[in-house]
Each structure stands twice: as C-alpha cells, then as structure tokens.
Amino acid sequence: MPRRRSAWFYIGIITGSLAAVCLLITLMVWGTMRSIGGDGKGLGLGSDTIAVIDITGVILSPETVDSQLRKFGDDSSVKAIILHINSPGGGAAASQEIYHEVLRVRQEKHKKIIASIESVGASGAYYIASGCDRIYANDASVVGSIGVIMEWTNYGDLMRWAKLKNVIIHAGELKDAGDPSRDMTPKEQAYFQSLVDNMYTQFVHDVATGRHSSDEKIRPLATGQVWTGQQSLPLGLIDKVGGYRLALLETAREVGISGEPSVVRPAKAKRGLLALLADDGEDLFPNPSQLLNQAPGFYFMWK
C-alpha cells in the first residue's frame, strides 16, 4: 500500500509557493520603481529631492537628456535639477535642442536648473550650461570653446590609388558639395563657410541670452579657445568656482531643503544578453563600409 503523506507536507508546499509568488511580486514592483524613479525616489511619493542628470562624452542626440528633463520637470517632488557635465560638446543641432529644453523647463515649470562642470564643459556642452540658472566649475575644469567646426574625411587619394571612381548624377550646382572623393571648389568653400558663420552667430547669441549678457560682450570670447574654471570666473563664463558637492548643497538650500538633500538620478538602461543576441551586432562590430558613407557634419565640439 502507498504511504500516505501527512498534512504538514501539503502545508509546506502551499507555504513555499506563496512565498515564491510574494518574492516575485516584490522584485517586479522594485524593478518598476527603479525604472520610473532611478533609485526609487522621484515618484511623487517623497518630497524635497534634487534630480541629477549626467551629460558625459560626445553629444550625438538630444533624446535621452530631453526626456529626463521633461520627466523631472513634471515631477512635483523634484525641487531643482543639476546637470552634471563632463563633455567636449558634440552635434550642433543636438546641443542646441537640449539648450532650448533647459530654457523651457525653467520657464514653464518654474524649476531651477544648475550646471556643474566636472573636467570638461566645452563647446556644445557649454552651450547647454549657458541656458542654466547658474554654472559651477572646478578651478582646473576646461570651459568655453565657443565656436563651430565642420569636418569630413577626404578619401579621394585612396580611391585613385585603388583605381575607383565616384559616380554622381545630380541636379543643382551645390547638390554634391562636400563630396569626400574630391577637393572643394571655391564656391563650395564659401557656401559651407556661410553655414558655419550662421551657426556661429546663433551660438554666440544663445550664450549671450543665457548668460544675461550681449552678443558684443560674448563675441570676443567666442574664439574657440578654452579657459580653466579659475580663468572663466572673471570672464563671466561661469558663476562660481566649486565642484558638484558645493553645487548640490547650495542648490538645496536655495530651494528650501535643509540638511542633506535626497538625490534622484535617471535609471540606467541595461542591455541583457538576450538584447545583444537579438540586435544586428552593428554596435559591437560596425560595418567598415560605413566609414565611407559619412556626410559632412557641423559640430559644437572642442578637439
């Protein structure tokens, strides 16, 4: 005859199953809170927090920073936003778009946005910082580089060596201007210079607006050169010499937060093994042919 199991056996199975379900639900809720509020804060459940957005490396797209600005701008528990900057700049349009989003959040949401420059806050990164209420930089930080650069790689000699010819059919005299397989004509040179000059004028004007100055005062500083944080203060490019910690504590006091402020950061996007296997591998192994398919680019970037 089969042995009958006791009631405690079934009670143990039920209890274990319930514990596993509760653990799974807890993990799901915790993951959701992290994805929404970075470290679990900034969900509207707490109060008196300072949001910190990191702007690091070359700025290629405004999408991530703009979405973070919008999220923290709409969060009533976030009293101020600090842009923690360590970037040489990047794409002209991308930098400009983030600058205008900073102004929009400040004006429409009535929320303070402070820039704290770590090692580098140059060109497009400084463009963004100039739209903030205040700029902090360390003594040895690199600041400035107000200017525009346009560049591409001319591989005409390589094509001639390989006995290759670039065939282009176009309508419009300047349609193929910037063709990297040949040298520019004088008219193309003047054409591109006019575009760069126009972007330069926009850069100078927006920095002047953000710094509550005038184009005439900013233009002598817009030579493309950089200064240290210590040199930048008397030039009016920054407001205070100091690091991230000083910017955090002074911003907290200014918005009425006493004591140590709570800090919320955006959740970091994590790519698992499944995502890496599912994509086409371009991020890991770029196609060499793409190196020959680069259009001329306009950059607010210090090099």
* Residue 298 dihedral angles phi and psi, to the nearest 5°: -105, 130
Contacts of 88 (CB under 8 A, 6+ apart): 58, 120, 122, 123, 125, 145, 301, 302, 303
Given 61, 76, 175, 217, the catalytic residue: 175
DSSP letters spanning 69-122: HHHHHH-TTEEEEEEEEEE-EEEHHHHHHHHHHHHHHHHHH--EEEEEEEEEEE
Pair 49, 81: CB distance under 8 Å = no
Interhelix angle 63-74/92-109, nearest 10 degrees = 0
Q: What is the number of residues in the chain?
A: 303
Tell me which residue has tokens 């004007």.
205
At 263 the three-state DSSP class reads: strand
The question of whether 123 is a catalytic residue gets the answer yes
Catalytic residue among 77, 123, 145, 262: 123
| CA distance readout (Å), 86 to 93, 138, 142, 147 | 19, 12, 9, 18
Strand partners, 56: 86
CA–CA separation, 203 vs 101, rounded Å?
15
Residues labelled catalytic: 123, 175
